[in-house]
Structure 1
């Protein structure tokens, strides 16, 4: 990204640095006339069909999201429109890691893949593209209940524990989606990528919180239906942006299941149509189910459960003491007593924060070799240490400049000279010692005076554990970013000529004027681009609507009818195009 453009949108401007790294320029000028024709075809089909089966705000939602039928939207247009409902949009390079995707939602920013599907994948693409992200996600955002769900989902997803296997699966999905969108992808390469994806899906082990949340996201945000089981409406972006599956999903052989927490037990495959779909009666039900799941997550449960998940994750995680102190780092060990943590340990660069703001002097440069500290109450003290005022701490001999001995109920002892006491929000969070010795219940050495200054976290319990650093900006957490880049085609002369033919038809449709050259475009299509059907269909549309050149129109129609017979994969696309010539859609949106 050359320079950060916030499009004058407050939501985009508020994005933190660790999310901005995924943003790429849209490069609107790279969209070809064929790309705009693909967008127009899909949007006209959607407008015609989805007005009857999509959840009611879809059509007005297009306008509120700054989208039109005639051309691919620019990011500026979308941001101008979305800002009015408190959202924004940015473009990225294909799939980004799930944790980052979720966090964008928490910031109320839509992540839009800058690329658009090829003509041969016009009905559905496994790769994220601008049709899916903008025509799929954006229109429903106009619904307040739905966008509340989206941003709430994002805030919960941003805290979810993820595993090394999650990253491997993400890489396999990204690689396959990129391969499938390559114009001349090698069939063997695709087979290998599909086998690798299948292997990783089958060897995920116990699914992580992120993996389970991704299922809830898939069965709602991507493939959700709303209403009753007998006649539901579509709100999922994957269905709204697939002109094939938006129709087939309503077939009776696609099982419809009431949406409950049980949806986490259903895995999904991004490369295939869905064998079942879930129907929610209301968007509020989505929030209720999400809340049920959130109550099982580490950030809500904390304690031994959360720390164990943090260790299994092997990623930067944050443990929050009941005092409010946040310890961020890679957790490698903890001790427990009566099923409560009594000592925690990180390895490698760690940091301390309160209220998601790093404590001065306690960044990962200072705690470069890790952090360890007891958890729990002191022996013989009814009140937790964190709740004692400075005066009460002094009364118990915990006073700056004095040597004190702290004996915890767990049997851990801390002896040293108090150097500093940090308090905030009426809680004591950190006591720093010099010349300090820390020993475990069995007398084992946990900290030696020769190791330097000892910073002891204060808190009776580990209240919460979540993935990522507390203060991401200060921790300078570089989110996991793929090395695999999406493929951008270099066009040969023949393809460039085809682009020019599409542009000529587009100009004629928009500007009117002499129609005679449409016959020349048709001749060039016949001569050099016999595989094309969409440009031919667009010429037929103009001739039919203006009731001109009936012989030319009949010749083109005959060609398309024959193509539909000879090439079954084109049959529905061509017939749907014929239908729209007869039943044109009218868009009342500003183009």
Structure 2
């Protein structure tokens, strides 16, 4: 199925390996109950956030193509976002962190297509359209912040992750799907929670991606800006949580200056945050991110980077100083104080500037790749910088036998068949037949009977990062998680309740003449504990100055509170907002 791009050029330029995560929005799936949940959360957000959000909330929503009244349509969002060089695409719940970061690098907000159930109206453990759109999108209109988001995505795309990171992602995704599914059993949820706790308890040293995720959490999701004594909210997790956006501002929640020390604070997505970080401005966010990026393998390369690639047990890319990129699953080669010989197992691809070299894809190098790293013995310059006179001096000539003895003791002997040179750098020399040995241990690393040998050329490994250099070429046919979000099927009770919410919605829009008294009686007779239906009706009764009915509804809501204490704040906030004519006037402008 072709991805919908909504006429937005930002979405058109997404690569295929990212497009496979995009799913249709299916706007018709949103029920009248879903619309009521959106409307309740957004009205509560505005009532509170207009005073403590960093940016003007309503103008920010409008810039992103959002309204208080309706779940956003991706077409409207993209019509607005493309004016500021961004786009939005719907995905199925959590996607892998590396993919999320890469979408961000391409200036695309990923929006979970589903919306939370009433039971999780204050906070949901799963990504949903409320969090992604009302939290992230409105602040994109701030140029400095938008630039930070894109830069964070570019850094995150290069981050090394561990095998445990991927296990953790799958466990979180599975649990979030179960928690938002009305058909999930308590035992299923408890089992999934137990597995998540077990993985979290055995993560070992945090990877680059895990540490980077902390910076993302304490800024993009839960960030405050201003001063420690007078902060404002800009983090999407707070902006989209009607519970935590209020509780987080209490004085007993520590507010710490944002520095690289935020890396020392892990987080739990299922609990309120025990502390928050305050940045003085958005420039500081970039400065801290750069401090961390300077310690990452994609910037330092070398032995440390290679060791991380081997330890992560996932597809990685190393970059030679010649610019040649090797993408594969790295295993221990020969490394002492420096790297002497690299080795991959399984499908491997060679690339330059993130484009696969012709004839050097993973099908050709299906069984792995190996090559020396370093300078030729007795040479005063890097091998990749050899000119014609250097080649003659070392006897390197097409269709002639050559001997390459590296300072490390690796010896490559064979007939040169071709030489790949780009931007005045030698990158690859193909030999057949060929023998490669470690002269110090007399270990045979490649035998002539094994066929053609492709020798990478480069004095150093200058960069190491997770994933393939040319993702389009390498990741063809790679599938997304088989664990899909569960689409809820409404039973007869659910259908009847949705019909009731549809009547309330039509009445608000002036599309139905049904009386509010009739609606109230329908709720009382059929869904007597549905607090949100009462709140929606109370708002209409107050607007129509139906004082007697409004008092009846309010009394009924107080009765629900007496039986369900956990609903107290939700209901009281709903009553207060329904009776607040000033908010109603502001929202109607």
TM-score for the superposition, normalised by structure 2: 0.97
**SS across alignment from 1:525:** helix
Q: What is the CA distance between 1:413 and its match in structure 2?
A: 1.0
**SS across alignment from 2:509:** helix
- The 1:587/1:104 distance shift into structure 2, 3 A limit, reads farther
Q: Structure 2: any 5+ residue segments left out of the alignment? A: none
2:559 is matched with 562
**SS across alignment from 2:217:** helix
Q: What is the CA distance between 1:531 and its match in structure 2?
A: 1.7
2:481 is matched with 482
Is 1:18 paired with 2:13? no
Q: What is the CA distance between 1:150 and its match in structure 2?
A: 0.9
Cα distance in 1 for partners of 2:585, 2:419 equals 66
Cα distance in 2 for partners of 1:59, 1:312 equals 47
Is 1:553 paired with 2:550? yes
Match of residue 375, structure 1, among 373, 376, 388: 373
Kept in 2, the 8 Å contact 1:434–1:454? The answer is yes
2:407 is matched with 409
Cα distance in 1 for partners of 2:21, 2:432 equals 43
What per-residue deviation string (whole Å, max 9, x for no partner) do you get for residues 39-68 of structure 1?
011111111110111112433211111000
Q: What is the CA distance between 1:183 and its match in structure 2?
A: 2.1
Cα distance in 2 for partners of 1:455, 1:292 equals 37
What per-residue deviation string (whole Å, max 9, x for no partner) do you get for residues 535-562 of structure 1?
11111111211213x3222211211122
Cα distance in 2 for partners of 1:353, 1:436 equals 23
- The 1:312/1:351 distance shift into structure 2, 3 A limit, reads same
Kept in 2, the 8 Å contact 1:88–1:110? The answer is yes
What per-residue deviation string (whole Å, max 9, x for no partner) do you get for residues 238-286 of structure 1?
1000000000000111111111111111111111111111111111111
Cα distance in 2 for partners of 1:27, 1:288 equals 40
- The 1:415/1:361 distance shift into structure 2, 3 A limit, reads same
Is 1:105 paired with 2:72? no
Kept in 2, the 8 Å contact 1:319–1:465? The answer is yes
Tell me which stretches of 4 or more aligned residues in structure 1 moved more than 6 Å: 587-591
Q: Structure 1: any 5+ residue segments left out of the alignment? A: none
Match of residue 541, structure 1, among 539, 542, 545: 539
- The 1:307/1:587 distance shift into structure 2, 3 A limit, reads farther
- The 1:291/1:57 distance shift into structure 2, 3 A limit, reads farther
1:398 is matched with 396
Match of residue 422, structure 1, among 420, 424, 440: 420
RMSD over aligned Cα atoms: 1.6
Moved more, 470-479 or 74-83: 470-479
Cα distance in 2 for partners of 1:445, 1:307 equals 22
Cα distance in 1 for partners of 2:55, 2:377 equals 62
2:577 is matched with 580
- The 1:556/1:587 distance shift into structure 2, 3 A limit, reads closer
- The 1:536/1:217 distance shift into structure 2, 3 A limit, reads same
The aligned length equals: 587
Cα distance in 2 for partners of 1:15, 1:224 equals 28
Cα distance in 2 for partners of 1:589, 1:404 equals 78
**SS across alignment from 1:320:** strand
Kept in 2, the 8 Å contact 1:23–1:92? The answer is yes
Match of residue 438, structure 2, among 440, 446, 465: 440
Q: What is the CA distance between 1:441 and its match in structure 2?
A: 2.8
Cα distance in 2 for partners of 1:341, 1:477 equals 31
Match of residue 344, structure 1, among 342, 345, 360: 342
Cα distance in 1 for partners of 2:552, 2:275 equals 43
**SS across alignment from 1:511:** coil
**SS across alignment from 2:123:** coil
Is 1:286 paired with 2:291? no
Cα distance in 1 for partners of 2:88, 2:588 equals 19
Q: What is the CA distance between 1:142 and its match in structure 2?
A: 1.0
What per-residue deviation string (whole Å, max 9, x for no partner) do you get for residues 140-177 of structure 1?
11111111111111111111111111111111111111
Q: What is the CA distance between 1:394 and its match in structure 2?
A: 3.4
1:460 is matched with 459
Kept in 2, the 8 Å contact 1:57–1:142? The answer is no
1:246 is matched with 245
1:431 is matched with 429
Match of residue 571, structure 1, among 565, 568, 572: 568
1:4 is matched with 3
Kept in 1, the 8 Å contact 2:377–2:405? The answer is yes
Moved more, 157-166 or 553-562: 553-562
Cα distance in 2 for partners of 1:164, 1:82 equals 36
2:66 is matched with 67
Q: What is the CA distance between 1:519 and its match in structure 2?
A: 1.6
1:158 is matched with 157
Is 1:506 paired with 2:505? yes
Cα distance in 2 for partners of 1:480, 1:292 equals 34
